Amino acid sequence: MELTLEKTKRKKPINKNRVAFIVMGITLPILAFLVFYLYVNFSSFVLAFQNDRTGEFTLDNFKGVIESMRNPKGTLSIALTNTLKYFIKDIIMMFVNLIFSYFIYKKVLGWKFFRLIFYMPAIIPGLVLSACFAEFIKPTGPVGVIAEMIGKPLPIEGLLQNSETATKVLIIFTIFTGFTSMLFYHGALARIPMEVIEAARLDGCGPGRECFSIVLPLIWPTFSTMLVLQMSGIFAASGPILYFTQGKFETTTLSYWMFAEVYGTGTFGGTGKYGAVSAAGMIFTALGLPIILFVKWLTEKIDIVEY
């Protein structure tokens, strides 16, 4: 009997298609990891210590980046300031998104209309939104007409061509288009068992207590994940700089500065200034990593409610 079973197992044909599928499924992610993660990061590390022209070892890339950051009027100093403004806005928008998601979850008066308005930026293509916004804030557009009526006309050159207003206007635009994360919170809120909410109501739990003592702990895994992801982009926060201003009028951010340096329109000049960009990336990674790990450690201190 045992011999018969062994012969049956040996005669079982190998499914070549299944083996090929498994090999492909393993090979492609490994290749992607080796090429797009290990090779790219190792190459960036090497380029940070190389002269872009001669390829010799140098620390000039780090010196140039630090000097530009120390200069209050330097491009990198302005880019860092603007980046932190966008980042603070993104953190505030996290809580704003959570609050509005809770209101929609509670189906307050007009919740369908507000849901449509908040989700609309995620439906309309970004280029269309940007073009409409640019026309909307022109001196001859609706904003310009209203400003003229109240006796405070806009600058002749427009809000986006003025160093005092350009960054503020771009931040306002990103606030309007920053409600897309409500989709994640809405999905987490939809998973909350209604029995828990009904039991809280029977115990006399009000909306505020329900939000902070019941709802927030239940969706904490989603919120903490979004928070850590947001913190990981502390030095990558930016806006539609390329479309609106191309970094002019003191609107550049670190992300756009890196783009401009690689394409030869930045402060260090030339084309493909990978050394300066790689050095800046290493500096900001070293600054941001402790912050990210600390926030991650704090979020893990709060117990996750399972349901």
- CB crowding 188-205: b at 16 or more within 10 Å, else e: bbeeeeeeebeebeeeee
Quote the pLDDT of residue 8. 52
Q: Which two tokens stand for residue 160?
A: 């986006």
Predicted confidence (pLDDT) per residue in 181-213, tens digit: 787 888 888 888 888 888 888 888 887 788 888
Contact yes or no for 270/264 (Cβ under 8 A): yes
Quote the pLDDT of residue 21. 81
**Confidence grade of residue 263 (pLDDT, cut at 50, 70, 90):** confident
Rounded distance between C-alpha atoms, residue 148 and residue 139, angstroms: 9
Is the alpha carbon torsion for 227, 231, 232, 237 positive or negative? positive
| Residue corresponding to tokens 């993104």 | 90
- Res. 176: pLDDT tops 90: no
- Res. 307: pLDDT tops 80: no
Angle formed at CA 255 by CA 164 and CA 75, multiple of 5 degrees: 50
Quote the pLDDT of residue 10. 57
Q: Mean of the pLDDT values across residues 94-105?
A: 87
Is the alpha carbon torsion for 237, 232, 190, 214 positive or negative? negative
Per-chain mean pLDDT for the chain: 84
Quote the pLDDT of residue 169. 92
- Rg, C-alpha atoms of the chain: 26
**Confidence grade of residue 14 (pLDDT, cut at 50, 70, 90):** low
**Confidence grade of residue 6 (pLDDT, cut at 50, 70, 90):** low
- Quick check: helix, strand or coil at residue 57? strand
Contact yes or no for 245/166 (Cβ under 8 A): yes
DSSP 35: I
Quote the pLDDT of residue 202. 84
More reliable by pLDDT, 258 or 15: 258
Quote the pLDDT of residue 83. 95
Quote the pLDDT of residue 88. 94
**Confidence grade of residue 297 (pLDDT, cut at 50, 70, 90):** very high
**CB hemisphere CA count around 263 (13 angstroms):** 9
| Residue corresponding to tokens 């990674």 | 285
pLDDT over 90, % of the chain? 20
Quote the pLDDT of residue 184. 82
CA 171, chain centre distance (Å): 14
- C-beta neighbour count of 150 within 10 angstroms: 7
Predicted confidence (pLDDT) per residue in 111-144, tens digit: 788 877 777 777 777 788 888 888 889 888 888 8
More reliable by pLDDT, 224 or 156: 224
- Res. 16: pLDDT tops 80: no
**Confidence grade of residue 266 (pLDDT, cut at 50, 70, 90):** low
Q: Which two tokens stand for residue 45?
A: 């590390």
- Res. 167: pLDDT tops 90: yes
